[in-house]
Copies of this chain bind each other. A is one copy, B any other.
Amino acid sequence: MLISMYDASVTVFLHNLNQLSHLLDKGLEHAKANGIDPATLVEARLAPDMLPLSKQVQIASDTAKLAAARLTGIAAPSYEDNESTFEELQARIAKTREWLQGLARETFAASEERAVSFKAGPTELNFAGLGYLLHFAIPNFFFHVTTAYDILRHNGVPIGKRDYLGRA
């Protein structure tokens, strides 16, 4: 009946960042095959006041590394959020995955009870590690991965559920 905080966080982020990379591959391929400037996809949004694809990828990366950092107490690398091409977004995903892969399973010991506090906008949020992971970090992570998918799909990129889920 018991699973580890490491499995519920790092393995989930690694798997789905890999799928996000695959979705971006499909986006770039579609642009090249149809004479579309790839930058139009990188900058695409679902609404004028929603964030563009580039930002969805940056926040998915941030959510994953910040979750691991907050659960372990290990400082996450800071990135500049200046990616503006598919290649740069792929590099962002790759370095995020590399950092996550370097975290030892043991560093998540007792992280389900660890106090996690941070500011979201003007609001101070206080969680225990378990609630933070299950009710903030994971929903937030999938929000940005799925919205990246939805932006690409809305713009005609031929992707389906299998491209999103991959194989476990």
Residues of chain A whose beta carbon lies under 8 Å from any beta carbon of chain B: 1-8, 11-12, 15-16, 46-47, 50, 108-112, 127, 130-132, 134-136, 138-140, 142-143, 146-147, 149-150, 153-154, 156, 161, 164-166, 168
Contacts and interface: CB of A to CB of B under 8 A. Distances in A.
29 contacts: A1-B5, A1-B110, A1-B111, A2-B2, A2-B5, A3-B3, A3-B4, A3-B8, A3-B112, A3-B130, A3-B134, A8-B134, A11-B134, A12-B135, A12-B138, A47-B154, A50-B153, A132-B168, A135-B166, A136-B165, A139-B142, A139-B165, A140-B165, A142-B142, A143-B146, A143-B161, A143-B164, A143-B165, A150-B150
A131 B109 CA distance: 21
A46 B150 contact: yes
Contacts of A130: 3, 7
Q: Which of A7, A12, A16, A140 has the most CB of B within 10 A?
A: A7
Nearest to A149: B143
3 closest A-B pairs by CB:
A135-B168, A142-B142, A146-B146
Nearest to A153: B47
